[in-house]
Amino acid sequence: VNPDETQGPVAYVGATAIPGDGRLPFTDSVLLVENGRIIALGDQHTPIPDAAVRVDLTGKFVLPGLTEGHAHVSGFASEAYHPDEPGAFRAAPPLMEDLLSWGVTTVRDTGGPDLESTQGLQRHSEVWPRFFGSGPNLDGSPGGPWKGMWKTEEPSEVGDLVTAEAEGGMDFIKVYAWMTEPVLLEAIRAAHRHGLPIAGHVGYTVTAERAVELGIDALEHIRIGPELIPADRMAEYRALPFRPRDEMAAVTPWRFIDLDSAAVDRVIGKFVRAGTYLTPTLAIHESHLAPASHSPGDKNFHDDSVTGELQHDPEDDVQVARMQFDRIVEFVGRAYASGVRVVAGSDTPSPALPPGASLHRELALLVQAGLTPLQAIEAATYTPAKLLGRSHETGSLRLGNRADLVVLGADPLADITNSSAIETVLLAGRTVRTGAPLNGPA
């Protein structure tokens, strides 16, 4: 009997099951699924109903479907980006298909051009990854260059923007780099009045540290930095020439930062006490700063165009960029070890960050930062589910959760790059993909 066609329970038998929520794996497991939900998980002695269809997964590894914790799919579904191409979704379907083929069953979309694109993608959880989005980024003036941002400099106006997003069904609020502190404070208050988490690509007009003091729930990218520069290096930092993308993406503070300094301890301690979620998007930082640090010749992760804009001194680009990246990676490891909640997200899609594949690169970078493979998997399953307020229904192999599952042919705990050895992807217990991922090897 095809497990996709039975109305009764399905028993996946024999795999090593990785629960995703930090618990140790069950070897030789029994995972029971019925009506799209997980109804049992245990060892080989777990009772299997007579009516169950058995699927032998001996030698395989099963884990919760992965969450891409920082993506921008909604922009590709939008008329604002494709004014000459009327029709639904435009470039979004192949992106969602790619994500699914790489085991991504949940997308956290961190900013798009309008509410409608997000709403459209939210409605397609039967065939695509479940979609949780912020809608348009809220920003100050002049604001980020992305289409469709909602901008205000008035603290009294931002509450209405947040309300419009909440009433439009957005799953969280996202603010951007030019928002001033008084506006940010009102945005945080408004988001929390609506019961929504608020995430920030901050660090320009307001430091990440200050945003956490004001109550922001989640930090996107490593835009921490200026608050960590030692006082006696500030003059050097300020003397650096300004480059076009610095408000959004400058990582130059990292050349001055001492990871053993009290400032680093202070900031990490604040994040821990506040319960801040940090989605460091190491993959995009790598694509800017250290594009050749893996898979030499792999153009997938190389983004020359941006790298040039992000560096100050072309003559020491390579050395300084790599040093900055290495320090960022080490900072993430220290933050995690201290108790900061780290989420895996890559900032896909872009030529350097192919959808799906780039999340697996992020997992490898989190392991490079010092997380164990089990902890890295948690950063792509349970932790983002907590951030999205959905851990009671997704992100782990807990009873009652949706059976969004990935079956691997090789052990990701032995080598995190095996996370991409994907054989089967299930959405709510239904097989949506078998075989190798669509857009090639990572």
Q: Which of 114, 286, 347, 404 binds Zn ion (CB under 5 A)?
A: 347
Minimum CB–partner distance for residue 70 and Zn ion (Å): 5
Between 19 and 349, name the residue whose CB sits nearer to Zn ion.
349
Q: How far apart are CA 90 and CA 218, in angstroms?
A: 30
DSSP string, 194-253: TT--EEE--SSSS-HHHHHHHT--EEESS---GGGS-GGGHHHHHHSPP-TTHHHH--GG
Nearest distance from C-beta of residue 383 to Zn ion, angstroms: 18
b/e map 122-157, b = 16+ CB within 10 Å: beebeebbbbbbbbbbbbbeebbebebbbbbeebee
Minimum CB separation from Zn ion for residue 286, in Å? 15
Extract the tokens encoding 254: 């990292």
Q: Which is nearer to Zn ion, 74 or 101 (CB)?
A: 74
Q: How far is the CB of 185 from Zn ion (least distance, A)?
A: 23
Residue 240 class from Cβ within 10 Å (0-12 exposed, 13-18 middle, 19+ buried)?
middle
Site stretch for Zn ion (CB under 5 A), options 306-314, 316-324, 340-348, 387-395: 340-348
Between β-strands 16-17 and 61-64, what pairing exists: parallel, antiparallel or unpaired?
A: parallel
Binding segment for Zn ion (CB under 5 A), chosen from 76-84, 297-305, 311-319, 347-355, is 347-355
**Distance (Å, whole) CA 81 – CA 159:** 27
Beta-strand pair 30-34/10-13 = antiparallel
> Judged by CB, which is closer to Zn ion: 110, or 276?
110
Q: Are strands 430-434 and 138-139 parallel, antiparallel or unpaired?
A: unpaired
Q: Cα 168 from chain centroid?
A: 22
Q: Which two tokens stand for residue 353?
A: 């960050």
Residues with Cβ within 8 Å of residue 2, at least 6 apart in sequence: 53
Give the residue with the Cβ less far from Zn ion, 253 or 349: 349
Q: Which is nearer to Zn ion, 146 or 256 (CB)?
A: 146
CB of 110 to Zn ion, least distance (A): 5
Omega before 142 within 30 of 0, i.e. cis: yes
CA 110 – CA 332 distance, rounded (Å): 20
Quick one: which segment of 123-131, 141-149, 312-320, 343-351 binds Zn ion (CB under 5 A)? 343-351
Of 223 and 433, which CB lies nearer to Zn ion in the complex structure? 223
Nearer Cβ to Zn ion (320/379): 379
Task: Print the SS3 string covering 107-140.
Answer: EEECCCCCHHHHHHHHCCCCCCCEEEECCCCEEC
Q: Which residue is nearest to Zn ion (CB)?
A: 347
Q: How far is CA 281 from CA 146, 221, 362, in A?
A: 18, 5, 7
Residues 6+ apart with CB under 8 A from 318: none
| Cα–Cα dist 168/5, whole Å | 36
Least distance from Zn ion to the Cβ atom of residue 27, Å: 38
Q: Which is nearer to Zn ion, 114 or 347 (CB)?
A: 347
How near is the Cβ of 343 to Zn ion at its closest, in Å? Answer: 13
| Nearest to Zn ion of 264, 387 (CB atom) | 387
Stretch that binds Zn ion, among 31-39, 266-274, 345-353, 405-413 (CB under 5 A): 345-353
Q: Which of residues 205-244 bind Zn ion (CB under 5 A)?
A: none
Give, as ranges, the residues between 253 and 292 that touch Zn ion (CB under 5 A): none
**Site pattern 101..120 for Zn ion (x: CB under 5 A):** ---------x----------
Q: Residue 110 or 117: which CB sits closer to Zn ion?
A: 110
Contact between 68 and Zn ion by CB under 5 A: the answer reads no
- Find the shortest distance in angstroms from Cβ 148 to Zn ion: 14
User: If we measure between CA atoms, which residue out of 224, 230, 186 comes closest to residue 203?
Assistant: 224
Q: Which of 365, 355, 382 minimizes the C-alpha distance to 439?
A: 355
Q: Closer CB to Zn ion, residue 261 or residue 305?
A: 305
Looking at 19-75, which runs of residues are DSSP E strands?
A: 30-34, 37-42, 53-56, 61-64, 66-71
Shortest Å, Cβ 150 to Zn ion: 16
Q: How far is the CB of 347 from Zn ion (least distance, A)?
A: 5
Size of residue set near Zn ion by CB under 5 A: 2
Smallest separation, CB 72 to Zn ion (Å):
6
366 three-class SS: helix
Q: Footprint of Zn ion on this chain (CB under 5 A)?
A: 110, 347
